[in-house]
Structure 1
Amino acid sequence: MGAQIVLIGAILTVVTAFSTQLLSLAVQPGWMTVLALILAAVAIAWTTVIIWSYMLVRPAASGVPGRALSAALTVALCALVLAPTAYAARLAYVSRDLVQHLFAGNYGPVLAEDPWSGAQRVNFLLIGADSAPNRPGVRTDSMTVASVDTATGATTLLGLPRNLEEVPLPPGPARDRFPYGFTGDGTISSPGLLNEVFQYAENHPEVVPGVPDGQRGPTLLKETVSGVLGIPVRYYAMVDMAGFAAMIDAVGGVRITVTEPIVYGKYREGLLPAGTRVLSGEEALWYGRSRTDSDDYVRMGRQKCLINAVARQADPVTLLNSFEQLASATKRAISTDVPADLLPALVELAEKVRGSRIKSLNFVPPLINTAAPDWRFIRRKTAEALSPAQRKPPPAAASAATPAAPTVDPVTLDKTCG
C-alpha cells in the first residue's frame, strides 16, 4: 500500500506539474516502450498481490455464496488495477506508432544541448492542401510561415496568397526553366500561381533532381517561399483539409469569435452566425476556407485566427485526454519533414508559443499587387516584422508628467479574430 501511495503521488505530480515534459516523453518511441514495460510489470505485481492476499485471507468454510462473493471481489480488484494500466500502455503504443509513422525517414543533425543550432528564430512552412475530383493533384491553397522565437516562443505568422504570380524559383534547374518567374504549364488549369509549385515539382522530377517522390513538392515550395520572404524556411508541415476537420473534432472543437456571419458548404447549406462559439471540425474547416461573400484575402485572415485559436487551446491535458483520436486523425492528415529527434524540443517550444503573443502579417492587396509583386518590398516588410527591435518592450516613461511616446506595432494584426 505504501508503494502504491508513492506511485499515485508521483503520477499526479508528473501529470500536473510536469505536463510539458510528459508530452516530450510521449514523442520518444524509446521512452514509450519503457513505459509500456513498466506498466505491465506494475499490473502483474499488483494482480499477484491481490490474488495472493485472497488465498491468504479467504474464509475456510464460507459455502458457495461466500466463495463466489470473495472470488468476484478479487476479480473486480484485479480489473481495477489492470484497466488503467492497460489504457496507459495503449496510449504508449499509440504514441510510439504515431511517431514512427509520421516521422519515418526524417533525420537531421539535432544536438540535444542546442536543437535549434543557435538560431534565434526557426521558420516552419504550414501548408493547407486541397484537392478535388475535377482538379487532379494537390493545390497548396493555404501557405503560412510561422516564424518562432526559440527563446520566448513569440510567433509571427507570414501569410502568402495562393494567387501570387511569376514567383521567382530557387537557383538551379527550376530557375533555369523559369528564369523570369514561375508560369506553370501555361494552360487554363495551370496559369502559374504559387499554389501550383508543389504539384509541378511532383510532376516534373527534373526541376528538383535527386529528390524522391513525395518530397519534391515540399522541397521546391520551401525553397521558393524562402526566396520570396528572404528568410530560411527549415521545416514544413502539410495538413490535408479533409483530415483537418477530424483533428479539430478529436480535441473537442475550437472556440472562435465569428465577427460576421459566414455562409459555408458547397451549396450554401450552412451558416456560422456571428458570436463566440465552439466550432466542430466541419464548421472550423469552412470557417477557414469559405469564400462566399468574401475573397481569398479575408479567408487568409480567418485562417490565421484559426491557427492562433488552436495553438492557444491545445493544452497538454486536452491533448492527453483525446490523444488516441487525435493520433488517428493526424496519421491520415499530416505530412512533415521535422526530424523525430527534434520532437522533444518542439513540444517545449510549442508550450512557449501557447503562452506568448501571436502576430500576423498577410501579404495581400492593397499591401502588394499579387499580379506583379514587389519582391524586395515583401522581403523588407518581412525583415521589419521579425526585427529584434520589435521584440523588445517599449522604454519606460521618464516620469508621469512626460509619458513615453506610443509604440507602433509594425505587424498588421488580423481584425477578423474579434
Structure 2
Amino acid sequence: MASAPPPRSYRSARDRVAQRRARNQRAAAISTSRRTRSGCSSIIAGSIAALLLTSLVIFVLTSFATRTLDTIQQADPRLQAESGSTAEQEDLPREDLEPFTILLLGVDTRDDESAAPRSDTLIVVHVDPQEKWASMLSIPRDSVVEIPYVGYQKINAAYPIGYLDAEAIYGQGTAPAAGGAALVAETVERFLGIPVDYTAQVDFLGFERLIDIMGGLVIDVPKPLLDAEYPTENFGFERLYIPAGLQVFNGETALRYARSRHSDSDFDRSCRQQRVLRAMLRQARSQDVLDQATRLPDLVKNLERSVSTTLPISELGVLYSLADFARSLNTDSIIQMSINPDNVRMNVQGSDIYWDEYDVQRLVSRMMAGPATDDDGVVTIQVKNGAGVGGLAGQVTRVLASEGQAMLTPADAPRRYTRTTIIDYTGNVAAREQLAELLGLPQSQIRSAPDETDPPAQNGVDLVLVVGEDYDDAWTVVRPNAPTPEPPPPAALPVAGDSESDLPNLPEGCSPDF
C-alpha cells in the first residue's frame, strides 16, 4: 500500500517554507511522456553536496564572485506560487546558521534535447552547522509516492513532470529546471513528512568535470564490480569492470562506478553514491582545493555551467558561514542512510516499490536527530577496520546491529591492529563488558580509556571496536535467530541506529569502509 502524506512533525528553518504547505491546491492537467532509457545519472547529486560542504568558499576568493553566484543561485518557484508574484529567496541567518534540509538532484541533460531531463536518484541532506554534523538519506528511484497535482507514481517521474509543466504549476516565467526541482521537493516533503528548505542540482557532465578538476578520487572498492550492460552514449551497452582494492578514479570512471545498475541492486548503487560523495569531501581537503588559486577559475567556470541551487549563496555572509562549516566538518560526522529493504518493509509490484510508512518515519526520525547525545540512554558503538580487509568493518557493524546494538557509520582505523580491541571513550563499564562477552574477547583486549595510539572518537561515540587481524569470521555473519526487539516510538529513536537497522544501511559487500 502506498504511503499517504504523513502529518508534519518538524519545524522548518524558515517560516515561509512551512507556510507554503498551506497554499491553495491547483487543478492542473499534467501529462508527460516517460522515457524508458536506462542508464540515467544518479551519483552526480553527490558533487553538489561536496560543493556545498567544501567548495562554496572558493567564490569569495575570486573577483567575479558576485556574477557567478547570481548565475548559480536560482529562485524557488514554490515561493513564487505561494505569493502569486516573484518572491525573493529568504536568507539563512548569517551567523550561527540554523539547521536546514537541502534536496540534492542529479540531472542527466545529455539525452534528446526535446525531452525532459531525468533525476533518477535523490539525496536528502540535513545539515546542522552549529553542531557540526550532517545526515544523508538516499531515496530509490523506483519508490512509488504521491506527486502533488498528479497522483501516485514513481518518484523519478516528478522532475520531468515539473520540468515540462513548470509554468502550469508554478506560474508564468518559471524556468523548466526550477519547476522540476520544485516539484521533486514538494514530493519529498509529502513522502518524508519534513520540510525541504532548499534544492540543488548538477548535471551529468558537470560532475565529471568537477572530479577531474579536483585531481580525481581515491576509493577503496570492497568487491569487484562487473556490469556487462553498462549504457553508452548511443543507447548501446559495453562491459564495465572495476577490481576490488584501492582505485584512483577520474570523473568518468567515478560516474560509471556509482551509476552502474546491472552489477548489483539499486540499493547497492545508493551506497556507492555516498561512498563517492565522502571521497569528494576527503579529496577537497587533502588537496587543499579551496586554497589553490590556480584551480579556482576552472572550478568557477564548471560550477557556473553545471550547478543551480536555491540556497542564498549570493549573500557573502551566508557563504562565509557555510564555508566555515565546510572546513570544520569531519567525514565521520556525516551520517549515511538510505531507504532499503534492510530497514524499511516494502511491497514490490513489478518494478514499483511501496515502502511502509511507519518504517520510513522511523528512518527520518534518526536522520533529523543527529548523532546520539550522552544523556539519551543509548550506548553507541563505532567499528573501525584495523585488519586491512575491505568491507570488514561494515560487515561487523551489520552483525552487531542485528544483535540490538546502536551502531554508527564504520570507518578505517589509522593503522593496523594485530589484536581486536574495545576502546571505551565514556567510562561505560557495563557496555564494554557486554560487547566483549558478545564477541568472546578477554579483558586484556578492553581499554578503559584511549591512549595516544588509538584513533580519536567522533562526536557521540561511546565505544570503538577496532577489528584486528585476529578477527573471527563469525563476527561477519548475522545469526538466523538474532533478536528483533520491539522498536521504540519515533521520538525516542537515536540517530545512531536501533535493533532493526544499522546506519550504513548497505547491502552485503558494499560498506562505507575507506
State if a TM-score over 0.5 links the two structures: yes
Letter in 1 for 2:175: D
Q: Deviations over 1:317-345 (max 9, x none)?
A: 22332222222221222111111222222
Distance 2:431 2:339 in 1: 37
Query: Is 1:245 matched up with 2:224?
Result: no
* Structure 1 residues 123 and 168, CA gap change in structure 2 (3 angstroms): same
* Structure 1 residues 242 and 352, CA gap change in structure 2 (3 angstroms): same
Q: Give the one of 179, 197, 203 matched to 2:164.
A: 203
| 8 Å Cα contact 1:94/1:324 also seen in 2 | no
Give the number of aligned pairs.
313
Letter in 2 for 1:206: A
Identity rate, percent: 24
TM-score (norm. length: structure 1)? 0.66
Counting only pairs closer than 5 Å after superposition, residues 202-281 of structure 1 correspond to structure 2 as 202-204=163-165, 205-209=167-171, 212-214=174-176, 215-263=178-226, 265=230, 266=232, 267-281=237-251
Letter in 2 for 1:378: V
| 8 Å Cα contact 1:125/1:144 also seen in 2 | yes
Distance 2:268 2:431 in 1: 40
CA positional deviation for 1:277: 2.0
Q: Deviations over 1:90-115 (max 9, x none)?
A: xx235444323212667323333354
CA positional deviation for 1:391: 4.4
CA positional deviation for 1:300: 1.0
Distance 1:153 1:114 in 2: 11
Query: Is 1:371 matched up with 2:353?
Result: yes
| 8 Å Cα contact 2:137/2:339 also seen in 1 | yes
CA positional deviation for 1:125: 0.9
Q: Equivalent residue of 2:301, what SS?
A: helix
Distance 1:405 1:386 in 2: 29
Structure 1 match to 2:511: 416
Letter in 2 for 1:216: G
TM-score (norm. length: structure 2)? 0.55
Distance 2:119 2:155 in 1: 8
Distance 1:150 1:260 in 2: 35
Distance 1:417 1:402 in 2: 25
Structure 2 match to 1:128: 106
**Structure with the higher helix share, 1 or 2:** 1
* Structure 1 residues 405 and 243, CA gap change in structure 2 (3 angstroms): same
CA positional deviation for 1:299: 0.9
Q: Deviations over 1:205-244 (max 9, x none)?
A: 3333467123221112112112212222111111112220
CA positional deviation for 1:397: 6.0
Q: Give the one of 151, 173, 183 matched to 2:130.
A: 151
* Structure 1 residues 110 and 257, CA gap change in structure 2 (3 angstroms): same
Distance 1:130 1:326 in 2: 20
Structure 2 match to 1:297: 267
Structure 2 match to 1:63: none
CA positional deviation for 1:377: 2.5
Q: Equivalent residue of 2:106, what SS?
A: strand
Distance 1:401 1:199 in 2: 54
Distance 1:378 1:402 in 2: 29
Q: Deviations over 1:99-156 (max 9, x none)?
A: 232126673233333543xxxx321111111242399211111200111222232121
Q: Deviations over 1:139-182 (max 9, x none)?
A: 111200111222232121111011111x124xxxx3xx44xx33
| 8 Å Cα contact 1:102/1:335 also seen in 2 | yes
CA positional deviation for 1:404: 7.0
| 8 Å Cα contact 2:105/2:181 also seen in 1 | no
Please give the root-mean-square deviation of Cα atoms over the aligned residues, in Å: 3.1
Structure 2 match to 1:318: 289
* Structure 1 residues 392 and 230, CA gap change in structure 2 (3 angstroms): farther
| 8 Å Cα contact 2:220/2:245 also seen in 1 | yes
Letter in 1 for 2:503: T
Q: Which of 1 and 2 has greater Rg? A: 1
Structure 2 match to 1:111: 93
Distance 1:25 1:294 in 2: 37
